[in-house]
Amino acid sequence: MPTVKDFSVEEKLTSLVTLQKIESKLDEIKILKGELPMEVSDLEDEIQGLNARQTRIEEEINGIKEFIEQKKEAIKESEALIKKYEKQSTNVKNNREFEAINKEMEMQQLEIKLRPPSGWLFLYQQVVNNNDWAGFF
């Protein structure tokens, strides 16, 4: 019959400490393994939130594009009307007609001045051309 080797107290304690460290590592792995689905779910939620944010920003950009195009068209129309009124002002028959034409020209000039500041257009063009949204967030 084989004999059982007797270990010293020091060897038993060292083995016990090693075994305890191994069990602690196993517990950490089990905990981590159990939390992974939650972490994946959190990351998926974050991705959905970012996608929704991107969609809102893209919609806002499209709205800004439309607004800018509308303003550009309005400016072109105003400039065309100003030219038309300038031609008409040379063929006026009385003072009232002249004043009415001048008022219309002033109104169209004000329309042109009410366009978005050129700084907005520059910033918008930089962002759209470079796809650099970092400055907005």
pLDDT by residue (tens digit) across 10-39?
A: 988 999 999 999 999 999 888 878 788 888
CA dist 9 and 7 (Å) reads 7
55-104: pLDDT as tens digits: 999 999 898 888 888 888 888 888 888 898 888 888 888 888 888 888 98
Contact between 109 and 42 under an 8 Å Cβ cutoff? The reply is: no
With a pLDDT cut of 90, the percent of the chain lying above it is 25
> What pLDDT shows up at residue 2?
59
pTM given for the model: 0.52
CA dist 116 and 125 (Å) reads 13
Q: What angle do CA 95, 96, 98 make, to 5 degrees?
A: 65
Using only C-alpha atoms, the chain has a radius of gyration, in whole angstroms, of 38
Tokens 């969609």 sit at which residue? 55
Tokens 């910033």 sit at which residue? 123
